[in-house]
Amino acid sequence: MYPVLTIADEILKCAKRMGRSLTPMQLMKLVYIAHGWSLAVLNRDIFSDRIEAWKYGPVIPTLYHATKQFGRNEISLDLVDAKSPSAVDEEVEGFLADVVKKYGHLSGVQLSNLTHLPDTPWHQVYEPNVKNKEIPDNLIRQHYVAKLYEHRQNSTAAAE
């Protein structure tokens, strides 16, 4: 497992290599989505930081506090050295690049909407006016395993 800021940094590097800039909201949602898919696909937790159900979706407080200075603006890619060696193993590096390829073109609002759908872990846990409510990894894992199963079923049906 890595610190969440290491995962976020790697996602920013991937985005920079692809010529994309990210806002803090996009980065937050990409890190969350990467976490969910890693639990389902890699069967491993890529970071241990707490994820909470906030009004506008799943939030990793450590990452929120590290990026809030940018507000709604893009995070300066000058802060990211895309050519520096990766701080994550090759499997995670490739996995994060895939997540950015598949989801990095979406706006923060579009990514947020994905995490707010009915039956998502955030939707199951969120309570208005309740702060610091954790979204347990087991809910996140169940959600993304179900999405993986659904994707595989659709792929099999399309191939027939």
Q: Which of 47, 35, 58 is nearest to 115 (CA)?
A: 58
Helix ranges (DSSP H) in the chain: 4-17, 24-37, 61-67, 90-103, 108-115, 121-125, 137-159
**Residue 122 has what pLDDT?**
95
Q: How high is the pLDDT of residue 66? A: 94
Main-chain phi, psi angles of 49, to 5 degrees: -65, 150
Report the alpha-carbon distance of residue 95 to residue 14 in Å, rounded: 11
Domain ranges for the chain = 4-159
| 32-65 pLDDT tens trace | 999 999 999 999 999 989 999 998 889 999 999 9
Q: How far is CA 51 from the centre of its chain?
A: 11
Dihedral sign, Cα of residue 107, residue 109, residue 110, residue 111: positive
